Amino acid sequence: MSIFKGAGVAIVTPMKENNEVDYDRFGELLDFQINNQTDAIIVCGTTGEAATLSHEEHLACIKFTVDYVNKRIPVIAGTGSNCTETAIYLSQKAEEYGVDGLLVVTPYYNKATQNGLKKHFTAIANSVKVPIILYNVPSRTGCALKADTIVELAKTVDNIVAVKEASGDISFVADLMQKADGCIDVYSGNDDQIVPLLSLGGVGVISVLSNICPKETHDIVDLYLNGKTKESLALQLKYLPVCHNLFTEVNPIPVKTALKYIGIDCGSLRSPLTDMEEENAVKLKEAMKATGINVK
């Protein structure tokens, strides 16, 4: 059974001027998402700047999200690490807090072998009971899961139930779907490939776009899953320029800029990330306006 079907938001982490987490704004952001039909909250992922949060901050953000959302929609916590023991620790604490699932990225920098990845994910999964979504994003980690590895993990570890597929390689997705034969749920990790991935049997998206367009991203998936494929495709194509401009610089630089444009200031980014270059920021705003997004 899927943890969720639809569009889950890879939510940003709001910051105060002093660079502390802004929990008041975080609550507003969560309400904005839920009120606009987001299907799940994914907290402390790449978009949430998890790599710059201390373990204490990381866990505090997870606990705050679980408590604030209060079972209104599923909460999935990013608990991956390039250290297996650290990932186990974060995963166990997140389970204690009551998350509905975990998003566990491939171990970055170490560049583990496929056997190493199997041992890594199996150890994490065996340490908890909540369902786990594997996260395949080789452009950021330097480490890729092969289709055969994903399928083997899904078939041999009960609580490995899904994968966020962000390689950008639609041929890889097709190969994975053929080999998996329904044994694992697949979520798009790329907003510009939601419909293509759904057409291959995917169940949704873990989305950056949802931060600024939660209802529209939800609708792309919902329309498709309810047989309205033309309408879904039309929305996918309509928001394609915004999707592209959300990645002219490394995520989450553009999406935090975009949130300011719609009147939701989530603060600055933690170093080493910086403010968006002016030229790219202008192009992002123009793309948002052209799509009909209400830019302030």
What tokens appear for 222 in the block?
């919902």
179 is annotated as an active-site residue: no
| Per-position DSSP letters for 247-292, written without gaps between them | TSSSTTHHHHHHHHHTT-------TT--PPPHHHHHHHHHHHHHHT
Q: List Cβ neighbours of 175 (8 Å cut-off, separation of 6 or more).
A: 147
Q: CA–CA separation, 24 vs 170, rounded Å? A: 39
108 has catalytic annotation: no
CA distance 81 to 223: 35
Catalytic residue among 63, 93, 135, 224: 135
Residues in CB range of 158: below 8 A, 6 or more apart: 125
Amino acid letter, residue 107: P
Among 5, 119, 155, 164, the one annotated catalytic: 164
d(CA 82, CA 105): 9
Measured between alpha carbons, how far is 88 from 51 in angstroms, rounded to an integer?
16
Own/partner long-range contacts of 179-186 (Cβ < 8 Å, ≥24 apart): 179/147, 179/148, 179/151, 180/147, 180/150, 180/151, 180/154, 183/151, 183/154, 183/155, 184/150, 184/151, 184/154, 184/160, 185/2, 185/3, 185/161, 186/162
Q: Which residues are catalytic?
A: 135, 164
